[in-house]
Structure 1
Amino acid sequence: MAVDIGELLGRLLSEGARHSDDTHDYHLTMVPVGDVTLPTGRVVACDPLVYAGDSPPFTVPVTPGRYPLRAWVAVIGFGPPGNRVESDRRTAALQLVIRDQPTTTWEPACVPDPAVPDPASIDEDGFAVYPVDSGTGTFADEQAVAALAGWPYERLEDAYIPAVIEAAPSPLDAITHEASGANVLLVSTGWGDGAYATFIGRGADGDVTSFVTDFRVL
């Protein structure tokens, strides 16, 4: 059965939305995590601690500028219905807001086709995904990600590997390309490692409103 992207993201990008199963409740809340500087407007979504050097930008660019990043956090309750208590918090989605206006259509975000396609880069729903092996993800400018790929491990550790990890979305931010001020602001990804799809929203005029990565919590 084809996935309805609008329905999928509507479950994630709604303040106060609640979803339940046999053992858990999920309460969605939006957490602003900072601004992302895009000097080139070429957006990359990736695990920046492992794949910064292997992550091309999406085929849809945006106007260079500075844009807010929002984490949609699932506050998870556990226990019998009617008596569930908060047991965890997980980053359910990450949203890079380009224009703060209603989104009328969604489309899968794509990178240029590689010469040799990797089957692992497509999920069971047919969407392009990026791999995560450090439990973190980001939206950042191509320039910022390329600069981060050249950092020595000691600098990476100082900026992005805290002694104590905060509850989701666990944001960490650092300027990685000093000439432009481009930064990489990462958050925790869903239940951790995996492969996650990104979608592009457009307004009624066809302009991009946001990029959203679904971390498969719901």
Structure 2
Amino acid sequence: MNPTDLNQAFQNGYCFQTTLDQHSDQVTYSVHTLGEIVLTSGKIAVCDPLVVPNSDLCLTQTLAAGRYPVKLSIATFDHQKEQRVAYGMLVIRDQPAVKWELAVSFTGDQESGYPVTSGTGCFIDGEVIKRLSFLSDTEFENYYNHLDQALDQTYVDTWDWTNFCLDESTGLNIIAFHSGWGEGYYSSYWGYDSQGNIVCLVTDFRLLDS
């Protein structure tokens, strides 16, 4: 991941020319804030929220419990007349990142990131992962249907998102969103400022990979 490209991706209105499917196209980025993810355990996971999760999906790096803003970088393709989610960002500090490191989960998979089969990625607290893993098949199907319906309510061509609350007493939630072109393997990265502090966590949906 090119840090310069990523910093540009979170600049509203930044545009550039690229080539997709042998056609030149202009891409314009827009930034959308989706709300705040609530962390009670300090453990954070990036995963497909419509697949039964397990605790190994949590990242080895932990965060302080609290609430963290989540933003999307949306790429609008002029020629194709469509929009796609390019990046998802969990904001930890309002400082620019100057260095990036691959975010590693307890699965130990440091190469391919996390698999997406439903066309949806998310940021999610480790406590939510734990609760979902204990659901029965019927309970998970009910959760799946409600989350899918919530995503449908925000759909525009061709992406969607939801800030989905699972526990009103604690505020535990899932912030889920469409994953680039859909299915795939997507890596996430910790961003560090010039003082070595973690400032963000970003998932790259590889829109422009050749």
Normalising by structure 1, report the TM-score.
Answer: 0.81
Matches within 5 A, 1:107-118: 107-112=101-106, 114=108
Residue of structure 2 equivalent to 1:189: 179
**Do structure 1's residue 17 and structure 2's residue 1 form an aligned pair?**
no
d(CA) in 2 for partners of 1:142 and 1:179? 17
Deviation at 1:164, TM superposition (A): 5.9
Query: In the aligned structure 2, how far is the partner of 1:77 from the partner of 1:35?
Result: 30
Q: Check 1:172–1:184 CA distance in 2 against 1; reply closer, same or farther (3 A cut).
A: same
Is the contact made by 1:97 and 1:209 (CA closer than 8 Å) also made in structure 2? yes
1:153 to 128, 138, 141: 141
Q: In the TM superposition, what are the counterparts of 1:1-218 in structure 2 within 5 Å?
A: 5-20=2-17, 21=19, 22-53=23-54, 55-78=56-79, 87-112=81-106, 114=108, 121=109, 127-149=111-133, 150=135, 151-161=139-149, 166-167=155-156, 168-177=158-167, 180-218=170-208
Q: Give, in whole Å, the separation in 1 of the partners of 2:71 and 2:176.
A: 11
How many residue pairs are counted as aligned between the two chains? Answer: 198
Q: CA deviation at 1:8?
A: 4.3
Sort the Cα spacing of 1:165 and 1:140 in 2 relative to 1 into closer, same or farther, 3 A. same
CA deviation string 1:44-65 (max 9, x = no partner): 0000111423652111111110
Answer whether contact 2:84 2:180 (CA < 8 A) is retained. yes
CA contact (8 A) 1:128 1:198 kept: no
Shift of 1:113: 5.2
Shift of 1:104: 2.0
The SS at the match of 1:50 is coil
Tell me the TM-score normalized by structure 2: 0.84
- Could you report, residue by residue, the CA deviation over 1:61-111 in whole angstroms, capped at 9, with x for unpaired residues? 111100110010001111xxxxxxx61010000000011112121111111
Q: Partner letter of residue 24 of structure 2?
A: T
* Distance in structure 2 (CA, Å) of the matches to 1:174 and 1:213: 19
RMSD, aligned CA? 2.2
C-alpha separation between the residues in 2 aligned to 1:103 and 1:193?
28
Contact 2:154–2:162 (CA<8 Å) still a contact in 1? no
